[in-house]
């Protein structure tokens, strides 16, 4: 059974600071997603990481994937209040019984 673990689950940080969210998964997969969810809203796709060593960046967010370590990171640079949201990683196993398996999510609060 595929397990996806995120940490931390809660993150409170000050504007301007840097931090990293970690996503570990238990079974071989070559495709990992990061989503953002604002309170009461749906999921917004941030990044799709397709292969080992993949790195994607958008604004203050950068995601990377290490398939050998079964680890993805979401790095936040110089956080701003608008980044406050819950961030989910999700893993897709081709041919698996589940379409996507999600982590529990990391609730990020950026304080002024």
Partner 1 sequence: KAGVTQTPRYLIKTRGQQVTLSCSPISGHRSVSWYQQTPGQGLQFLFEYFSETQRNKGNFPGRFSGRQFSNSRSEMNVSTLELGDSALYLCASSLEAGGWETQYFGPGTRLLVL
| Subset of residues 53 to 112 that bind partner 1, contact rule: CB under 8 A | 88, 90, 92, 94-105
The structure tokens listed for 69 are 């370590």
Distance CA 37, CA 85 (A): 6
| Subset of residues 11 to 50 that bind partner 1, contact rule: CB under 8 A | 31, 33, 35, 41-45, 48, 50
Distance CA 94, CA 42 (A): 24
2 binds partner 1 (CB under 8 A): no
Shorter beta-carbon distance to partner 1: residue 25 or 33: 33
Q: Quick one: CA dihedral 48, 104, 78, 45, positive or negative?
A: positive
Q: Which residues bind partner 1 (CB under 8 A)?
A: 31, 33, 35, 41-45, 48, 50, 88, 90, 92, 94-105
């Amino acid at each position: 059974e595929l397990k996806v673990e995120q940490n931390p689950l809660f993150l409170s940080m000050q504007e301007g600071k840097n931090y990293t969210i970690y996503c570990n998964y238990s079974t071989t997969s070559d495709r990992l997603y990061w989503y953002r969810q604002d309170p009461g809203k749906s999921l917004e796709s941030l990044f799709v990481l397709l292969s080992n060593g993949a790195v994607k960046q958008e604004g203050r967010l950068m995601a990377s994937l290490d398939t050998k370590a079964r680890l993805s990171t979401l790095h936040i640079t110089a956080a701003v209040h608008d980044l406050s949201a819950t961030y989910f990683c999700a893993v897709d196993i081709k041919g698996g019984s589940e379409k996507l398996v999600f982590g529990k999510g990391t609730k990020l609060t950026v304080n002024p």
